[in-house]
Structures are given as C-alpha cells and as structure tokens.
Structure 1
Amino acid sequence: MKITKLFSLSLLLLLITNATAQEFKLGKVSIAELEQKVHPKDSSAAAAILYKKGETRIEYDVKDGFVTLTDVETRIKIYKKEGYNWANQGLWYYNTINLPEKVTFTDAVTYNLVGGKIEKTKLKSEGVFDEGVDKFRRLKKITMPNVKEGSVIEFRYTIKSPTDRLIREWGFQTSIPVNYSEFITYIPEYYVFNTKQKGYVFPKITSERNSRTVTLTNKERTIPGGTQDTRTQYASDKFDYIETKTTYLAIDFPAIKEEVYVNNIDNYVSGVQHELSMITNFKGEKKMYSTDWNSVVKTIYSYDDFGPELNKTGYFEDDLNALLSGVNNADEKIIIILNYVKSRVKWNDYFGYSCDKGVKRAYKEKSGNIADINLMLTAMLRYAGLTANPVLVSTRSNGIAIFPNRTAFNYVIAAVETPNGNILLDASDKFSTPNVLPFRALNWSGRLIRKDGSSEEVDLMPKKASIDNITLNYRINPEGKITGKTRRQLGDYQALITRDNIDSVKEEEYLEKLENQNNKIEITDYSRANEKEILLPVIETYSFTGNNLCEIIGGKIYVSPMLFFANEKNPFKQETREYPVDFGFPFTSRYNITIQIPEGFMVETLPAPAVINMQDNLGVFKFNIGANGNSLQLSVQHQINEAIVSTEQYEMLKEYYKGMIAKQSEKIVLKRI
C-alpha cells in the first residue's frame, strides 16, 4: 500500500475516533437539510445517506427461544433527478416453512420544503409491495411518495428471524456518499461469530460487556389429592449471562466508484460480515459450525437436496448406456454426457447448490435449477466410470467467499479429475464446453467435494488464452473510400461470448449494430460458420465499404491502418486503482492486415514498428508494418496472459494500454507521386 493511502486511512480513522455519535431521530428533519443543494464533500452526488443506524439483537423469546431481531432506520437526501431511484427501497427475506422471516416498513415519510415550511408526505399502503424472488425468498419493497430534487426521505424497517444463527451483512458504503452509518450487535455469550471486514476504509469499533438475565418458564399439570383435583403449576428458572455489545461507526465514507473490469464491485465495498462458529447451550454443551471449509462442505454434502441426490439411480441409465455404447475414450464420454444433459434438461434460471425439483423429477420434466442439472451431470459422469465430483461456486453477482460459511456459495458445477488436472463442466449453458464455463461462474475459486467428505480449493479462472484472429484486406481509392473483406475467427471464451451475442438475434439487427459500432461501414456478403458446432471456433466473414475511415488533407490521405479495429480510448484512467482488474480470461488478439495503396500515390510516412512487453509475462503488444510495391502488410498482436491483474500491476497495465493505443492511433500518410 502506498504512503498516501496509509496517510489517508490514518487521517480518516483519526477523524472517526474523535467523532461522537450524533443525535439523529426519525421525524426530526431540519430546514438546513432540506435547503442543501449539493453534497458538501461530493458535488457530483445525486443523493446521500445522511444517517443510517442498525441494531441486531439475539434475544430470548418465550415461545421461540433465541431469535434474531434487526431494526434499521435511514435518512436519505435527494439532490438530483438521477437520485430518484433511492426513493425505491427493497429488502429480501427468507420465506420457507423452516425459516419464515417477517419484514415490516414503518415511519416512512418524504419531506419537502414548500414556502419555507416543511411539508410531510407519509407512505401509504399502495406504495408497499411484496413479491417472490425464488422458492426460498421474497422481496418487500416501498416506493416513497412526492419525491423531488431536494427531498429528504426517512424510513424504518424491522426483520424478525426465527433463527439465532444468521446476522445479515452490514454495508458502510454504497454508490452515494454516506455521512453517518452505525451498526450495533448484541450477542449473548452462548454464541461465537466469526467477523470479517471487507473494503478499503474501515469503521471504528468499540465493544462492551453487560449482564443479562433470561427467565425460562415451564408449566406442569399435577394431581396433589386425587384424580379429580388437577392443578397447573409454573416453574421458573433464571439464567444470568453476559451479552457483548459491539458498535461499528463510520463517518463521511465516500461513494464507491464503478471502474471497468471489476467482477463485482460489492466485493470491495466497506462492510462487516458475521458467520456463526459455535453455540453453547444452557447446559454447557457445545456445537461447532463453520470453523473451516472442510466442515462447511461436509455440512452441505449431508443436506438431503445435495449429497443424496448424487446417489439416486434408475432414471438415466438406459438412455446413457445407449449413448455410450462402444465409447471408451474418456474425453469422448465427457463430451457426450455434457451435450446430453444440456439437450435433455433446460435451466429454469434459478441458481443454488441445493436441488429444487430433485434430479429424477428434473430429468423427467426436462427442466431444473443449477443443482438439479449439474448434480445430475456429476452422477452420470460417475456412472460412466469417470472420477467426477461437484464443485461449489459463488457466482460473480454473489461475490467472493471471504471466510468459511455455508451461505458463501450459490452455484455448483461438475469437475472430472484427470492426471492433467480438473476438467470443469457446466451443463446449464448451451454454449459451454469443457473448461469453458459460463462467464457468471468465473469467480476466482470454488470448492471441490469428494465422496469421502474431503475437499480442496479449485481455481476457476481460465489459464488458456482465448483467441481472436482477424484477417483484414482492404483497398483505398484516390477519394479516400475504402472497400475490403474481413475474416474473424474466435475461440473458447471469445466464441462463447460471440455465440451469446448472436443467439436469437436477427441477422439484420446484428449487422446494423456491427455497422454502427464500426464507423458506419456498410456490410455485405456476411456469412457465419460453426455457430452451432461449439467445439470449433466461430468464424465470421463479410465485405465492407466505408466513406469515413480516412481523411484527405492537402491532397494527402491519412488512415489508421487498423481501421475500426483500433482501440481509441484507454479504459484505465484512474491515477490509482483500489480493485484488481478482472478481464475474466486471458486472451490473444492477432491482426493480419493487407492494404492496397491507390494508383498515383506512394507512402510518405509509416508508423514505426514497436514492441511493448509487460513484466512477469503479463502481456505483450507487437506492431510491425512494411511496404511491398503498392501494398502494405501489417501484423499486430495484443496479448494479456492473466485473467486477473493485481492492483500492484495496475500502473504497468495502464502504461501498456496507453502505449498500445498511441501506436494504433498513428496514421499512414500517402501522397501523390
């Protein structure tokens, strides 16, 4: 970490340490808050969180035992129309037989300044919505009324959870500035939670221990004198325990800024997570939970809708025997089984490592969630004699698993172990191939689980470079009009992305978009090969004409030799970078370009050859051009060898792109003979 970062962090912590908890109360919005036109520390902010306070308590309930109660109150300032979306608030909650949570929004009011006086508009029932998310969760939403530029909105919500094992993550940062954020947990001594902070700025933490008492009441029916004389007697037991109150306080935390090539910005947002590690009951008996990854995966494997699903039989064997008859090669078996599952069972768009319908029903009904499909795939691979196991994954949208916990994962794929390493498979995407997973699953690492309960970390990030080979031949006429032909060959992830882009899109729409992206060229003779042959590269060919691809100045022709394939803007503009650069996969782009010079012209200036190498074999750019009579031959290579580039390498990567773009922008100058 650089000295400037350390200084900034130290200063921030000093300010927080010296700050005292401010007195905010719902319903006490000030005229000064309503009059404020821009955020004092971020004039670009469309809105800001003025105040947010949350408390999570694990408390004893006479009927339900220990439960978790969360109360949150929030005040938000709207500065611009772009901030109106902050008037729409939503909160998901579990809605299952075993975990029926309850969510309630209250004290929801919009404040405006009208004629120098504060006008209040309360949320009415028509602004409250409740809708399903998936089979486990629902979403309670509110839409605040009468929101304008300058409005302040307030609301409170309460979550009552019948479990004592889940404390929700608290975020101290978001896409707008946060003036004040306070989160307090009250945890009895019977519970041990692992806590983990994430992000690049951290709250001040204080804790204190207080004595609490729980009274347990039992009732018994007794017969003291005879069969007709029954009484109910009540017995009470008191338990004294220590409760730990932990306060997290964040003041003036900046908005989190989106940057290019970030897999999930939430991975880097300041927040705190809790994961249950151990419970001790009143008798002193201890029960361990997610202490390490092995215990986590053993717990998951034992779930009825996970491990036992892998052992179910009697639903696919006859079909698979017919497909594999006479096939002995392991690679062929993998392809046949993968393609069969993809064609047999369609993904219903639900994630999850737990089966929804179960593999048998999904096979029969020909649809299922991620677990239904990929646990079925794993079972078939095992039946075919391959060493196959499930791999738990957290998708990009779900974030990176920071520490051992069962809720870190939301996805599962299959892996076949071979002497040359694991072959990763996902049958939920019709364009995936062995070791080419859907982009959503490329999230650093997963956890492979074997039958014996052992597990190991599996690197999900591709190591093989995906190719993009382009052959471009074009002719320039004396008036600067360019006509030419292009052939483009894309492999692996480049092919998967291309197939996704063209799937179910009319060719006319696709070509119109391609023309507009490439300086308004006109495309003819378009053709495509291997669109459905997913083990082969996608090949596109077309002819084109362009009237805006070069300039004529003073009788000379100026043209960028790569035409519309040149990179024009450096995506890496920030002076420093807080997050790794995530390309998703390594790639190699090669361009072989032949240019025909118009009659009556000759070359006045050619760009000089260039090679830009990054350290640690991170990447290379090569540019070489030469003349041969009336034609020019250009060879360009742009290669990035790592899917993820660390923040320490960011400056080098930025300079690499700067140099590459500068070279691609250089013009060929042609003059009349």
Structure 2
Amino acid sequence: MKINRLFLCTFLFFSLASIAQDKLPFKFGKLSPADFTQGVPAFDTGAHALVLGDVGVSRIVPNFNGGFGYEFERRIRVKILDKNGVDAGKFLIPVYFSKTNDSKEEVKSIKGTTYNLDAGKITETKLENNQVFTEKQSRNYHIKKFSMPALKEGSIFELSYRIESDFLFEFRPWVFQGDYPCLWSEYEIEVPEYYDYVYLSQGFLPYHISTKKEVPRAYKIRGGDAGTMGLKQNDFTLNGSAMQKRWVIKNIPSLKEESFTTSLENYRSKIEFQLSSIRYPNSNPIPILEDWPKVTENLMSHQNFGDQLKKAEGYVEELLVPVLAGITDPVEKARRIYAYVRDNYTCTSRGSMYTSTGLKNLIKTKSGNVADLNLLLIAMLKSQNIEAYPVILSTRSQGQTHQIYPLMDRFNYVICAALIAESEFLLDASSPDLGFDKLDIRCYNGHARVLMKDPVPIYLLADSLLERKVTMATVIVDKDSLKGGIQTNFGYYESQSRREYIREKSENAYFEQIKTSYGTDYSITRTHIDSLKKLDLPIKVYYDLAIGREGEDIIYLDPVLVPFSRENPFKSTSRMYPVEMPYRIDETYLLNFEIPEGYKVDELPKSVKVSLNESDGSFEYIINADASRIKLRTRVSLAKASFNPEDYDSLREFFGFVIKKQAEQIVLKKIANP
C-alpha cells in the first residue's frame, strides 16, 4: 500500500504540474505586489518592455444576416521595464468595411487598466472612452488608435478588446512574435465543419502546445434574406460540429532587425488563415481560394492591369517608328524598345502591381509607377510580334510569396518576360540604371509567376547571382609620401548601386565618399570611371591615393587598402532566422608594393587559407616578399548567398577572421648602415 500511495502521489504531482504548464500562469485582472518584481528576461536582455501574456480567441458564430461571421477577443498583460518601453502601450486596431456590400467589422469593447505600485500599494488608472480615437484612412479602412494611460517605468497594464467581423475569408491571423519579448502567447480558434481553411504557419519558434479537438455545436441561424447560408426562412437551429485548435509559444524573444535580412515578416512567428472552400449542409462545396489559371484570367481582364494591354493595341506602334528604323533583328528590337521606355519615362513608385495612371496617360505625362512602365514595355514588344508576358513578384522587403496558394496581397511588383526564339529575357524598365535583361537586386526574392495561359512559376534566387570584384593596388614609398594607384573592377550590382549614387549626388560626391573612408590624412587625385553610361556593363573605378610621411625609421603599412569589410556586420551573438545576402561573392585584392630604398621587411603577416563550413566559402591571404618587393593576394569567396540559422556562428566567425586578418600591418625598418 505504501508503494501504491507513493505512486499515486507522484502521479498526481506530475499531472497537476503538467496541467499548470498548459495554462497561462496568471489570471487577468488579479495582481499582487509580487507581480511587479518581474525583471528583464534572460532570453532577451535588451528588452524595454515584456509581454507577460497575450491570449487571443476567434470563433465563427452566427451573425445577424442569416449566416456566419466571427468574433475575435484579445487579452494582454505587459510590464514596462524602463522608460523606453512605454511605446508598448500604443495600439492600432484596424477595422475593415466591404466595398461592395454591407459586410463590416466592429470593435465592440475596449477595456484597459494601468497598474502602478506606489509605496507598496497598487493604484489603477482606467483607459477612458474619450482616449480612443478613430482615424478614417479610407471608406473601407478605419483605425482605432489609443495609448494606455499613466505608463512609466515599472507599470503593468492590461488590455482587452473584442471585434465582430463578417469577413470569413480574411479570418483574423495571430502574431506570436512581436517587437517585445513575450512569456506566453496563445491563440485558439473554433471553426464549424462547414468552413475549410488553409493554415499558414511560419517562424522558427516551436509550439509549446498545439492541440485540436472536435466538439458538437448547435448554431441558431437568424432569419432574413438569403444571407451566407443561401437560405431564406425563419430562425432555425443547425446541428453540427466544430474544430477547436489551440497554439501556445512560450519565452519568445523579440524580433530584431539584423544585417542581410530581406524582410523580418518572412520569419516572424505567426499563423494566418485563408478560406479554401465552404460546405453547407445539403449543398455542393463552394470553392473560394482561386487557382493560378483563374487568378491570371482575372488579372488579365482587370482594368488596371491586363485591360491596359488591350487598350494599348493600335496606338503604341506609331511611337516606335523612329526608335526601330532599319532594325529587323527581334532581339535588337527588344533592346531598343527597352531602352526607349527606360530612358524616356520616369517611375514615380516601385511598389505596385496595378497601374496608377493608365498607359494612354503615361504616354502623355511620361511618368507612372512600375506597373505603368513595364506594362507599356510589354504592349510595345507585343506590337512588334515579340512574345511578352507580365511577371508578378514580391520585392525582398515586402516578404515572400506562396507558390501553391495565390495570395495576391503578397505581390507588389510587375516585370516583363520576353521570349525570342530560344532565349528568355527578364526586363524591368522602371530603373534608369538597369541594363537589358537585368533585374533590380530586390526582385530576387524567390517565387514569381509568369502570367501566360498556363501560368508558369519562376524562381528568382540570390544564389543564382555572382558578384566578382577585383581590386589592384600598386604602392610606392618615397622620401615625402606613400603613393598608390587603385583600380577596382566592380560586379554588376555594385556597379548599379554606384551609378544610382552618382546619378543622385554626383561623381565628385562619390570620390569624396571614398576619400572619407580613408581618413583626412589621405588625398585622392586622377579619378576616373569607365563604362559609367554603358548600363549593360560593370564599371571600373580608378584613382591615385597619397599620404605624407617624414622619413621615419619604422614604416607601418596597411597592405589591404580596399578591405572586404571594415567591420563585422554580424554583431549579435546568436540568430534565429537565415542570413540572406543579395548575391554570392567572389572578391579579390592584389597588392604590388615596392620596398623603398634603405628599408627592409621587419614584420610580415603570415599567409593563410581557411574555409567556411568546408564548401560554403573560402578565404586566402597569400603574401610574398623579397628585398625589393612585396606581393599580396587576398580573396574572399562565398559559394551561396543564403545561410541557415545553424550556420550563423561559423559565418560570423569567418567574417571576423577575414576582417582581422586584412587589418594586419606590414612593418618596414630602416637599415642601420645601408
């Protein structure tokens, strides 16, 4: 019996402990002075505020229109850790209204309280109704805006609000990972059997809890017009079942911006929902989520997309008569048309998939957004019987698209695909610095879609790009100065960024920037740039570099005058999401240094070769010296542009090693009695 009792007690202890771990560790509305002792969490030591608990519940329930809507409730408790954390008390709640019917969302209740501990006693300050404001962004989009009152260092606040919505297609998502660390984030949904949703979960944080269960439900459908149930009759009860799902993540660090990140939104831990189909009783399933052929059909008939191409037939061809005079080769025609649009039309916005002005007005005003310019390009190519199609994509800062589900709000850009004989060309006429068959680096963001009869996926990957850069330096030392001649052959995308800088600033400003990087003691003369206006080619930059000296006995020389990087971009000790560079790297630096007469090498860095994760990259530093000359060759090569989080430590260490090694000096010493 003693053994049995011991077993029973042990079993009950662990069972209760397990149950306790599955529930929020506090009750909203109940605080004690001990709750104010919570400090900065060990997993996010730089935090200014801490979310103690964030709980959301969404349930699809009958509405007043003879069908279903959903209710969303949220409760959150936050501790302000220091004065910089008071922004955690600012809230924006979006509210939507239909453009075509009476469907809408309403915020039914907003309740908030700020708690402060003063002289051992808890004081309360309520959020008043007159502190909540409504901003009307448009007819269809409003924002409820407010800040929690009486916030200061050490405050705890609680907030709850409820939203009633008719928009089942855009079921409320849940973000687990925000701008502040969170000890407990929980979301629960309840969906009747009549609705099928696609669940889109992302992020690198594991679920502490992920459960689902089916429960019986009786839904009282209110009478009225046909409503969403497709029925017209008095109130009735619909017996069925619902699926309850619950997700919990604990001890969530804040998501921080890091070097080489396309968009933080790609890696924020969250869950989204898209309505796929509806299956009402005694009815055939109704598909909701469209496929790519249907999406393409819709876009090609849209008045601000494909319809513009149809309207352009008949009036763009005459614009090309002087542009294409005497040209018969289709590739050369495509080049001329591309250059004509790029050089004669100004892009006013590079973040839209739909035209802003229409092609006819674009031709008059000579300015429009990226869709205006590239759809005009497509129309002009088609007028010359060149096969051309729109390609929709998402730029790197916008976030990634979904290759299976055509979630159109993720697309924000359109380019042109031209098919000529056996060759394919991707064109973007919106940038004045891009050559033919080149895309802006921000377009390389994975999945894109060619809008042809059978829509084709293409993949624009940073790993497909290689930037080769070679810098050659020749340095001599005389009695008055150290002089060097520098030549850098840039890769294409570094060339593009420098062309853009020079176009916006000036060539003088560019070389002044180079001079600043060396320091005020250096002078730069005989500057020159090759191929600056030849947009299909990379550029070459030349300049002479000099710094004064006074015939000292010891000369300290920095042999790498154009280093791979001056500081390590990877400052954090850990990283939870990938490193995404814009391209693969192959960078070489060559030095030819003449040892001045009367000096000898006293200290010389050692040659070295290292690899990154065996095959992901390499670095070599090869240096040789004789009595009159020092030669150095250093090369950094990265075999891929994207690195997984588990590669971060080795990548950070690799960059650190390269930077430290390239900073090593050569020491020359005057010969005592030459």
Q: TM-score, normalised by structure 2?
A: 0.83
* Cα distance, 1:444–1:486 mapped onto 2, change above 3 Å: same
Q: Distance in 1 between matches of 2:87 and 2:486?
A: 44
Between 1:284-293 and 1:424-433, the stretch displaced more is 284-293
Q: Which residue of 1 aligns with 2:322?
A: 322
SS at match of 2:247: strand
Which of 429, 435, 438 is matched with 1:436 structurally?
Answer: 438
Report how many aligned residue pairs link the two structures: 642
* Cα distance, 1:616–1:219 mapped onto 2, change above 3 Å: closer
Q: Distance in 2 between matches of 1:671 and 1:135?
A: 77
Q: Which residue of 2 aligns with 1:223?
A: none
Deviations 1:412-439 (A, max 9, x none): 2222235666422222222233443223
Given that 2:600 and 2:627 are in contact with CA atoms closer than 8 Å, whether structure 1 keeps it comes out as no
Between 1:160-169 and 1:291-300, the stretch displaced more is 291-300
Given that 1:518 and 1:564 are in contact with CA atoms closer than 8 Å, whether structure 2 keeps it comes out as no
Q: Distance in 1 between matches of 2:18 and 2:425?
A: 49
Given that 1:448 and 1:458 are in contact with CA atoms closer than 8 Å, whether structure 2 keeps it comes out as no
Gaps of 5+ in 1: 1-13, 221-232
Given that 2:316 and 2:379 are in contact with CA atoms closer than 8 Å, whether structure 1 keeps it comes out as no
Q: Pairwise mapping of residues 384-399 of structure 1 onto structure 2 (< 5 A)?
A: 384-399=384-399
Q: Distance in 2 between matches of 1:515 and 1:127?
A: 53
* Cα distance, 1:394–1:18 mapped onto 2, change above 3 Å: farther
Given that 1:446 and 1:460 are in contact with CA atoms closer than 8 Å, whether structure 2 keeps it comes out as no
Residue 137 of structure 1 deviates from its aligned partner by 5.7
Which of 177, 182, 185 is matched with 1:173 structurally?
Answer: 177
Residue 52 of structure 1 deviates from its aligned partner by 1.3
Q: Distance in 2 between matches of 1:332 and 1:477?
A: 53
SS at match of 2:99: coil
Given that 2:462 and 2:581 are in contact with CA atoms closer than 8 Å, whether structure 1 keeps it comes out as no
Residue 493 of structure 1 deviates from its aligned partner by 0.9
Deviations 1:649-671 (A, max 9, x none): 55664554355334323322211
Residue 219 of structure 1 deviates from its aligned partner by 7.5
Q: Pairwise mapping of residues 118-517 of structure 1 onto structure 2 (< 5 A)?
A: 118-120=123-125, 122=127, 125=130, 128=133, 130=135, 132=137, 140-203=144-207, 204-208=209-213, 209-218=215-224, 235-290=234-289, 297=296, 300-301=299-300, 303-312=302-311, 313-349=313-349, 351-402=351-402, 403-406=404-407, 407-417=409-419, 422-450=424-452, 452-461=453-462, 463-476=464-477, 482-505=482-505, 510=510, 513-517=513-517
Q: Distance in 1 between matches of 2:625 and 2:144?
A: 67
Given that 1:468 and 1:491 are in contact with CA atoms closer than 8 Å, whether structure 2 keeps it comes out as yes
- Identity in percent: 27
Given that 1:580 and 1:644 are in contact with CA atoms closer than 8 Å, whether structure 2 keeps it comes out as yes
Q: Distance in 2 between matches of 1:103 and 1:331?
A: 56
CA RMSD of aligned residues (A): 3.8
Residue 41 of structure 1 deviates from its aligned partner by 5.1
Q: Which residue of 2 aligns with 1:518?
A: 518
Q: Which residue of 1 aligns with 2:638?
A: 640
Q: Which residue of 1 aligns with 2:586?
A: 588
SS at match of 2:34: helix
Q: Which residue of 2 aligns with 1:10?
A: none
Which one-letter code corresponds to 1:375 in the other structure?
L
Given that 1:566 and 1:665 are in contact with CA atoms closer than 8 Å, whether structure 2 keeps it comes out as no
* Cα distance, 1:622–1:169 mapped onto 2, change above 3 Å: same
Q: Distance in 1 between matches of 2:574 and 2:212?
A: 35
Q: Distance in 1 between matches of 2:320 and 2:72?
A: 51
* Cα distance, 1:362–1:283 mapped onto 2, change above 3 Å: farther
Q: Which residue of 2 aligns with 1:72?
A: 74
* Cα distance, 1:466–1:243 mapped onto 2, change above 3 Å: same
Which of 106, 110, 113 is matched with 1:106 structurally?
Answer: 110
SS at match of 2:55: strand
SS at match of 2:262: coil
Asked if residue 626 in structure 1 is aligned to residue 624 in structure 2, the reply is yes
Q: Distance in 1 between matches of 2:528 and 2:161?
A: 56
SS at match of 2:438: coil
SS at match of 2:239: strand
Which one-letter code corresponds to 2:427 in the other structure?
L
Given that 2:562 and 2:589 are in contact with CA atoms closer than 8 Å, whether structure 1 keeps it comes out as no
* Cα distance, 1:476–1:492 mapped onto 2, change above 3 Å: same
Between 1:17-26 and 1:372-381, the stretch displaced more is 17-26
Which one-letter code corresponds to 2:384 in the other structure?
A
Gaps of 5+ in 2: 1-15, 227-231
Residue 336 of structure 1 deviates from its aligned partner by 2.6
Between 1:234-243 and 1:269-278, the stretch displaced more is 234-243
Residue 551 of structure 1 deviates from its aligned partner by 13
Residue 494 of structure 1 deviates from its aligned partner by 0.8
SS at match of 1:355: coil
Between 1:295-304 and 1:141-150, the stretch displaced more is 295-304
Residue 149 of structure 1 deviates from its aligned partner by 2.0
Residue 178 of structure 1 deviates from its aligned partner by 0.9
